[in-house]
């Protein structure tokens, strides 16, 4: 006689979990965008391998955030 109400399934049921998966790469990309110019300025002014490594790591972080393999 009385049937329990069915919950309608929509396309956005798993959207929150999916959005949280790529959040780490987004934060990594933002950190890369902050560290990149700072390390470039440091490399241009003082030189040295530390600034070059930081610049390379920040470029890699931005690339990983752009590709976003966890999406």
List all residues 6 or more positions away from 64 whose beta carbon is below 8 Å from its beta carbon.
Answer: 25, 28, 29
Residue-wise pLDDT for 18-53, tens only, equals: 556 667 788 888 999 999 999 999 999 998 899 999
For the packed helices 49-67 and 23-45, what is the interaxial angle rounded to 10 degrees?
A: 150
Give 45 or 12, the one with higher predicted confidence: 45
How far apart CA 71 and CA 4 sit, in angstroms, is 36
How high is the pLDDT of residue 15?
A: 53
11 pLDDT higher than 60: no
């Amino acid at each position: 006689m009385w049937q329990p109400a069915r919950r309608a399934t929509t396309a956005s049921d798993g959207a929150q979990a999916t959005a949280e998966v790529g959040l780490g790469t987004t934060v990594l990309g933002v950190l890369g965008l902050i560290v990149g110019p700072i390390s470039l300025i440091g490399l241009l002014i003082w030189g040295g391998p530390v600034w070059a490594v930081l610049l390379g790591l920040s470029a890699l972080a931005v690339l990983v955030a752009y590709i976003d393999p966890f999406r």
